């Protein structure tokens, strides 16, 4: 008897799930730091250009490809790509990128997510001394283990909160699409928005004397909003600003990493994807631009001034979230409560994303090896427990940054370029356009047909060529890696190569002896 295919419970459920996969730590940590480092308002111009010319077209391409592949019983990129181009057997191996990317990000993302849960807890019980920056920084370094001279980083509380966070993630995944992921996102995402709005309102009412003396001029949150929305157009001459904006759009929409492909594969053939996809993307943009942009940058502007925001050396994503924001809470009545609210918002954003990162791998085992979800989740859980260890114990050796670069940057652009070329040029743009509008509640402007076929692929390929020409050799030869970190960085690169090879072998085993043609699912299954 054929296994019954999982489906989303409602249209709202899939929208919230896809939005939840996109709404993550990047909305509240990475976006503010990228905007601040790249000229404030000047960053927003290439950001919206990249959103319209790359982000939204890619989003529609992934929803289209995912639903199509789901009609043939596939929910991961290898199977979905194979269903779109059966004459080209290599495409399913290229589809490995759609499992590799989420898996690599998962290797560090859950650990960072556990920091958010831990610091929400410590804020709630009053263990974080926001009023004493030195004591707070010392506590953070102790928790992460980075102030120790020993071989390993990490502390016992970090291990405990990591295990709790991992078990929560696996439990959600274990209960399936409707009973786990959809149920979580139906609760967590509305709660996140409500709490973020409350915190944003509090931030927007902040002010601070310029020199800390009463009676002098004050900096207000509206001045901080001005920093974000008043562009210095001279910054647009820098290619770095354009690349940073495009990279943020990739990161925030979760395009190019296989997650949307997997989520949309659980739709039925006549389910709307054009309006649902745009709604999910718009929800994410509201979280990032409106809420993320209304909390961190205005608060940092009020308490630290424009010089702090203009100095990129102060603005690592984690510095803003875990160092700058707590210092701000120290100057606000009820700082412990606002600290709890901030870190709990980050945890909710993190978990709705991390469960989506698990699904492509789990779906691959379910669909291509005919496993039960429960067995697939158990295998995945054991594997990621082992794979998460390097980011935890070698945090101070650059391992986390290496995972973020290859899993969260390079493979996303490569995957995005390939999948949009596959859809528009191999599957066929006319056929893709028809598939996009099957059951549609929104007629996509025809200009996007041209954008998807010509503009988006050209920009993606240009970005890859630019990277190869300017940065490839320095990255491979580890020019900017400190000597003491080279063995660790080399070690994690070997691990990543091993993951790619393992996934390729699994794809080969899954399709060994299988006919190239596959029947489309029928009736309610389709």
**For residues 413 and 395, what is the distance between their CA atoms, to the nearest angstrom?**
25
| 220 phi and psi angles, rounded to 5 deg | -120, 165
DSSP assignments along 444-494, one per residue:
--THHHHIIIIIHHHHHHHHHHHHHHHTHHHHHTTTTS-GGGHHHHHHHHH
pLDDT band with cut points at 50, 70 and 90 for residue 214 = low
Q: What is the residue range of 189's domain?
A: 11-463+489-513
pLDDT of residue 1: 43
Residue 468 inside a domain? The answer is no
Q: Is the pLDDT of residue 130 over 80?
A: no
State the average pLDDT over residues 498-521: 85
Q: Is the pLDDT of residue 332 over 70?
A: yes
Q: Is the pLDDT of residue 164 over 50?
A: yes
Higher pLDDT: 324 or 79? It is 79
State the average pLDDT over residues 104-115: 94
Q: What is the pLDDT of residues 165-175, one digit of tens each?
A: 999 999 999 99
Residue 30 inside a domain? The answer is yes
Residue 469 inside a domain? The answer is no
pLDDT band with cut points at 50, 70 and 90 for residue 314 = low
pLDDT of residue 313: 46
- Residue 51 exposure: Cα atoms within 13 Å on the Cβ side: 16
Give the residue among 300, 349, 347 at the shortest CA–CA distance from 124.
347
pLDDT of residue 180: 96
Residue 4 inside a domain? The answer is no
Q: Is the pLDDT of residue 228 over 60?
A: yes
Q: Is the pLDDT of residue 429 over 90?
A: yes
Q: Is the pLDDT of residue 26 over 90?
A: no
pLDDT of residue 470: 78
Residue 105 inside a domain? The answer is yes
pLDDT band with cut points at 50, 70 and 90 for residue 109 = very high
Q: Is the pLDDT of residue 54 over 60?
A: yes
User: CB-based burial of residue 437 (10 Å sphere; 0-12 exposed, 13-18 middle, 19+ buried)?
Assistant: middle
Say which residues have a Cβ less than 8 Å from residue 9's Cβ, sequence separation at least 6. 178, 182
Higher pLDDT: 2 or 198? It is 198
State the average pLDDT over residues 20-30: 88
User: CB-based burial of residue 421 (10 Å sphere; 0-12 exposed, 13-18 middle, 19+ buried)?
Assistant: middle
Say which residues have a Cβ less than 8 Å from residue 425's Cβ, sequence separation at least 6. 453, 457
State the average pLDDT over residues 44-51: 89
Per mean pLDDT, which of 133-137, 217-221, 319-323, 420-424 is the most reliable? 420-424
Interior CA angle at 25 toward 22 and 28, to 5°? 100
Q: How many Cβ atoms sit within 10 Å of the Cβ of residue 273?
A: 27
Q: Is the pLDDT of residue 2 over 70?
A: no
State the average pLDDT over residues 144-157: 70
Residue 522 inside a domain? The answer is no
Point out the least confidently predicted range of 220-224, 284-288, 420-424, 487-491. 220-224
Dig out the tokens for 422 from the structure.
């596959």
pLDDT of residue 514: 75
Per the rule left: phi > 0, alpha: psi between -120 and 50, beta: everything else, 515 is: beta
State the average pLDDT over residues 496-504: 96
Dig out the tokens for 526 from the structure.
């389709």
In contact, 48 and 252? CB cutoff 8 Å:
no
What percentage of the chain exceeds 90 in pLDDT?
Answer: 52
Say which residues have a Cβ less than 8 Å from residue 38's Cβ, sequence separation at least 6. 235, 238, 240, 241, 244, 245
Residue 405 inside a domain? The answer is yes
pLDDT of residue 462: 87
| 218 phi and psi angles, rounded to 5 deg | -115, 150
pLDDT of residue 175: 96
How many independent structural domains does the chain possess? 1
Residue 477 inside a domain? The answer is no
**For residues 404 and 386, what is the distance between their CA atoms, to the nearest angstrom?**
17
CATH label of the domain that carries residue 157: 1.10.4160
Q: Is the pLDDT of residue 492 over 80?
A: yes
């Amino acid at each position: 008897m054929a296994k019954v295919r999982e489906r989303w419970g409602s249209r709202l459920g899939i929208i919230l799930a896809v939005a939840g996969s996109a709404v993550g730590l990047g909305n509240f940590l990475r976006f503010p730091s990228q905007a601040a480092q790249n000229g404030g308002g000047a960053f927003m111009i290439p950001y919206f250009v990249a959103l319209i010319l790359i982000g939204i077209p890619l989003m529609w391409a992934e929803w289209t490809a995912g639903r199509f592949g789901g009609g043939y019983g596939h929910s991961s990129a290898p199977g979905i790509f194979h269903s779109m181009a059966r004459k080209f057997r290599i495409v399913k191996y290229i589809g490995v990128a759609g499992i590799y990317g989420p898996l690599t990000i998962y290797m560090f993302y859950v650990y960072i997510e556990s920091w958010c849960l831990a610091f929400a807890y410590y804020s709630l019980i009053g263990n974080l001394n926001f009023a004493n920056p030195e004591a707070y920084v010392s506590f953070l370094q102790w928790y992460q283990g980075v102030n120790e001279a020993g071989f390993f980083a990490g502390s016992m509380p970090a291990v405990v909160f990591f295990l709790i966070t991992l078990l929560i993630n696996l439990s959600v995944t274990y209960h399936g699409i409707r009973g786990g992921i959809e149920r979580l996102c139906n609760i967590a995402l509305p709660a996140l928005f409500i709490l973020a709005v409350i915190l944003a309102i509090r931030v927007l009412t902040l002010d601070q004397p310029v020199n800390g003396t009463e009676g002098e001029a004050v900096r207000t949150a509206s001045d901080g909003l001005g920093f974000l929305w008043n562009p210095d157009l001279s910054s647009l001459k820098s290619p770095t600003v354009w690349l940073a904006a495009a990279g943020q759009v990739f990161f925030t929409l979760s395009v190019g990493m296989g997650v949307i492909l997997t989520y949309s594969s659980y739709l039925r053939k006549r389910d709307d994807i054009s309006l649902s996809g745009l709604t999910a993307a718009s929800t994410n943009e509201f979280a990032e631009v409106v809420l993320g942009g209304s909390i961190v940058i205005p608060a940092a502007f009020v308490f630290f001034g424009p010089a702090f925001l203009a100095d990129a050396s102060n603005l690592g994503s984690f510095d803003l979230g875990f160092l700058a924001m707590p210092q701000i809470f120290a100057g606000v009545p009820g700082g412990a409560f606002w600290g709890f609210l901030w870190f709990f918002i980050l945890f909710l954003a993190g978990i709705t994303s991390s469960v989506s990162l698990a699904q492509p791998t789990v779906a691959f085992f379910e669909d291509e090896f005919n496993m039960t979800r429960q067995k697939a989740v158990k295998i995945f859980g054991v594997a990621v427990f082992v794979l998460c260890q390097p980011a935890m114990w070698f945090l101070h050796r650059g391992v986390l940054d290496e995972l973020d670069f290859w899993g969260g940057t390079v493979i996303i652009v490569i995957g995005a370029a390939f999948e949009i070329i596959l859809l528009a040029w191999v599957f066929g743009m006319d056929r893709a356009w028809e598939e996009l509008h099957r059951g549609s509640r929104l007629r996509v402007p025809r200009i996007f047909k041209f954008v998807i076929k010509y503009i988006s692929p050209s920009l993606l390929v240009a970005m890859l060529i630019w990277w190869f020409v300017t940065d490839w050799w320095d990255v491979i030869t580890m020019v900017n890696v400190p000597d003491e970190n080279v063995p660790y960085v080399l070690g994690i690169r070997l691990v990543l190569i091993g993951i790619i090879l393992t996934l390729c072998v699994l794809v080969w085993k899954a399709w060994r002896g299988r006919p190239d043609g596959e029947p489309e699912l029928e009736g309610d299954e389709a």
